[in-house]
Structure 1
Amino acid sequence: MLILRKDANENIEVFQLNKAFVDFFQIPKFYNWKLLKSKITPLVAIIYTTPWKRVKHTISLTVNDQVESFFLKTSVTHTNEFEYLMVTMETIQQLIDKKEKESWYKLMTVMSHEIINTITPISSLAENLDSLLQDEPDEDTLSELSQGLKIIKKRSSHLNNFVTTYRQLAELPLPEKKKINFTETVQQTLDLFAQEFKEKNIQLDFQSEENIQLVADKQQLEQVVINLISNCLYAIKETDKPEITVTINSVNNRIHLTVSDNGIGISQKIKNNIFIPYFTTRKEGSGIGLTLTKSIVEAHDGTIFFKSENGLTMFTLSFQTI
């Protein structure tokens, strides 16, 4: 971290710099800006603008034959007398590690919550049933035992389903890629929902260039479309005039699949969580649909992103053309 301070006469001084900064550049703690500037020339070209402004940049620096990639960010603040430029640098690996730890923390939080919620009532019921068996069971006792065992069976089944969905994620096979007609694949998958669309008066608009070809695992991409349409069906459940739009097009050597609906949308509160395993807002949802979708897309060297605004939620998938 480096903080520069500038007065009204444009005189600059080093206000603060930490040990990590000077250790990487292998320089003394210079608080004279002219001296410091001569030692960090590659950095100066990026941060030294007139006027000072916010910057976000990925850079690679070489110091004593050591190459390191950084995510560099600057911010500017003012007081009555001075203007401050704050420069922070994080190695790319640090950012990756941080994101990875955050992802694991969120996953472990959800998993532990799910497991505890299942095991706690089973443990409590087991104790209660054991106490009932200490005495000679009468008709009421037997009824209570039967009810308790049904609850244990139901909760155990729920936990088994939870473990099964985890295995789906953990054991997702590598895609068996072949040349497929992507337009036809999507159309055939949409046909699976034709009866449901009709019964629920859902307007489907499917638009595609003819015979778009893609090298992919057909079965896995069918699952992706099923997951996205299933999400749409849930989102438009309470919509007066439900609409789902699916488009396929090819732009700049990329094939784009877009699936959108006019349902309840994705709130700002949960936008950062929707691809996290087991995160769901549905009462009966497993919470792996979008996680599985993202895994499949990335296994095909594709990307997925979404936006939800103005009454429209849109997921866009992008793949490399043949």
Structure 2
Amino acid sequence: PAQQNENLNVVKIVKLALDIFNEKYIHFIADEEEIIAKLDRTQLIRVITNLVKNAIQAVPEVESPRILVSVVSHGDKVKISVADNGIGIQDGFKDKVFEPKFTTKSSGMGLGLGMVKNIVETYNGSINFTSQPGKGTVFTVMFPKEAKN
């Protein structure tokens, strides 16, 4: 679908994207009430929901699961992080995480992160993660606030 780039309040849209989840252990923080970036609203929501779904699937065996989603202004970029205290990503899988169809789960297609990466890179953004098996994972997405033409 064609991108509908508009000036969005990323803080508000991320909050909105989190509304579809009922898990009480999902927390949201932002350092400002408004961080504007030129993005496609649907694509941004898709990025957030995918990252949060992955985080939810990482925490089922954890005693007190916790997912923290944050939106921070970072110079001319906006930084969105999704952190969980779940099972983490094994070293052997780390370079495969963004491959289409890669999944460690029994259900689903494994398209999530590949698609997320495509969306992010369309905006000249970046996505990366740090993970410690047994401790959790943090995915960080950076979007430029101004779209490059």
TM-score by length of 2: 0.92
Tell me the equivalent position of 1:207: 29
- Cα deviation for residue 300 of structure 1 reads 1.3
Tell me the equivalent position of 1:320: 144
Q: 1:255 aligns with which of 74, 78, 83?
A: 78
Deviation string for 1:70-111 (max 9, x for gaps)?
A: xxxxxxxxxxxxxxxxxxxxxxxxxxxxxxxxxxxxxxxxxx
- Cα deviation for residue 303 of structure 1 reads 0.4
- Cα deviation for residue 211 of structure 1 reads 1.1
Q: Distance in 2 between matches of 1:204 and 1:230?
A: 11
Note the 1:14-53 alignment, pairs <5 A. none
Aligned partner of 1:239: which letter? V
1:237 aligned onto 2:60: yes
CA root-mean-square deviation: 1.2
1:281 aligned onto 2:104: yes
- Cα deviation for residue 174 of structure 1 reads 4.0
Asked if the contact 1:224–1:296 (Cα under 8 Å) also holds between the matched residues in 2, the reply is yes
Q: Distance in 2 between matches of 1:309 and 1:269?
A: 12
Aligned partner of 1:218: which letter? R
- Cα deviation for residue 312 of structure 1 reads 2.4
Identity %: 37
Q: Which has the higher contact order (CA 8 A, sep 6+)?
A: 2
Q: 1:184 aligns with which of 6, 9, 12?
A: 12
1:307 aligned onto 2:95: no
- Cα deviation for residue 287 of structure 1 reads 1.1
Runs of 5+ consecutive residues of structure 2 not aligned to the other structure:
none
Tell me the equivalent position of 1:291: 114
Aligned partner of 2:86: which letter? G
Aligned partner of 2:68: which letter? T
Between structure 1 and structure 2, the one with the greater Rg is 1
- Cα deviation for residue 227 of structure 1 reads 0.4
- Cα deviation for residue 237 of structure 1 reads 1.0
Partner-residue secondary structure (3-state), 1:256: strand
- Cα deviation for residue 204 of structure 1 reads 2.2
Runs of 5+ consecutive residues of structure 1 not aligned to the other structure:
1-172
Note the 1:149-188 alignment, pairs <5 A. 173-188=1-16
TM-score by length of 1: 0.44
Would you identify which runs of 4 or more consecutive aligned residues in structure 1 move more than 4 Å? none
- Cα deviation for residue 285 of structure 1 reads 2.1
- Cα deviation for residue 253 of structure 1 reads 1.4
Q: Distance in 1 between matches of 2:75 and 2:17?
A: 26
Q: Distance in 1 between matches of 2:124 and 2:39?
A: 10
Higher helix share: 1
Aligned partner of 2:9: which letter? N
Aligned partner of 2:17: which letter? T
Aligned partner of 1:316: which letter? T
- Cα deviation for residue 249 of structure 1 reads 0.7
Asked if the contact 1:248–1:257 (Cα under 8 Å) also holds between the matched residues in 2, the reply is yes
